Amino acid sequence: MLRRKFLLCAALFLFLFYGTAVPLWAQEAATTGIDLNAEAAVLMEAHGGKVLWAKNPDKELPMASVTKIMTLLLAVEAVEQGKASLEERVVASENAWEMGGSQIYLEPGEEFSLKEMLIAVAVGSANDASVAVAEHLMGSEEAFVEAMNRRVQEMGLKHTRFANCTGLPAKGHYTSAYDMAVILREALKYPLFRQLSSIYEYDLRGGKFKLWNTNKLLKWYQGVDAGKTGWTTEAKYCLASSAERDGLRLIAVVLGVPEPRGHFRESIKLYNYGFARYRAVNLLPAGAVVASLPVEKGVPPEVEVVTAERVAVVVPRGEERGFTTTYELPPRLKAPLAQHQAVGYCVVQKGGQEVHRVPLLAGREVKRASFLQQVNRVLNRVYGPGR
Write the CATH number for 369: 2.60.410.10
Residue 32 has pLDDT above 60, yes or no: no
Residue 381 domain flag:
no
Calpha distance 270→286 (Å, rounded): 27
Residue 384 domain flag:
no
Closest by Cα among 289, 241, 246, 231 to 268: 241
Calpha distance 316→297 (Å, rounded): 47
Question: What pLDDT is attached to residue 370?
Answer: 79
Calpha distance 274→248 (Å, rounded): 9
* Same domain as 189, residue 109: yes
Question: What pLDDT is attached to residue 99?
Answer: 85
Residue 232 domain flag:
yes
- The one catalytic residue in 55, 68, 228, 269 is 68
Residue 166 domain flag:
yes
pTM for the predicted model, two decimal places: 0.84
* Same domain as 206, residue 348: no
Q: Which residues, including other chains, have CB under 8 Å from residue 163's CB and lie 6 or more apart?
A: 145, 170, 171, 172, 173
Question: What pLDDT is attached to residue 313?
Answer: 93
- The one catalytic residue in 93, 125, 130, 242 is 125
Q: Does residue 125 carry a catalytic annotation?
A: yes
- The one catalytic residue in 55, 65, 197, 241 is 65
Calpha distance 309→329 (Å, rounded): 17
Which of these three, 278, 310, 338, is where a domain ends? 278
* Same domain as 168, residue 42: yes
Give the DSSP letter of residue 66.
G
Write the CATH number for 246: 3.40.710.10
Give percent of the chain above pLDDT 90: 81
* Same domain as 252, residue 138: yes
Distance of CA 288 to CAs 210, 340, 360, 361, 363, Å?
Answer: 41, 13, 10, 10, 10
Question: What pLDDT is attached to residue 130?
Answer: 97
Question: What pLDDT is attached to residue 6?
Answer: 39
Residues 133, 117 contacting (CB under 8 angstroms): yes
Residues 271-317: tens digit of each pLDDT? 999 999 999 999 999 999 999 999 988 889 999 999 999 999 999 99
pLDDT tier at 102, thresholds 50, 70, 90? confident
Q: Does residue 5 carry a catalytic annotation?
A: no
Question: What pLDDT is attached to residue 50?
Answer: 93
- Is residue 137 classed exposed, middle or buried when 0-12, 13-18 and 19+ CB atoms within 10 A define those classes? buried
Residues 128-162: tens digit of each pLDDT? 999 999 999 999 999 999 999 999 999 999 999 99
* Same domain as 85, residue 132: yes
Domain count, the chain: 2
Residue 5 domain flag:
no
Question: What pLDDT is attached to residue 20?
Answer: 31
pLDDT tier at 29, thresholds 50, 70, 90? very low
Helix/strand/coil percentages in the chain, nearest 5 = 35, 30, 35
Residue 9 domain flag:
no
Which of these three, 230, 256, 278, is where a domain ends? 278
* Same domain as 148, residue 232: yes
Question: Which backbone phi and psi does 273 adopt, to 5 degrees?
Answer: -60, -50
Range of the domain at 294: 285-373
Residue 298 domain flag:
yes
* Same domain as 306, residue 266: no
Which of these three, 263, 278, 293, is where a domain ends? 278
Residues 176, 160 contacting (CB under 8 angstroms): yes
* Same domain as 348, residue 200: no
Residue 7 domain flag:
no
Residues 345-385: tens digit of each pLDDT? 999 999 999 999 999 999 999 998 777 766 666 666 666 66
Residues 50-95: tens digit of each pLDDT? 999 999 999 999 999 999 999 999 999 999 999 999 999 999 999 9
* Same domain as 344, residue 231: no
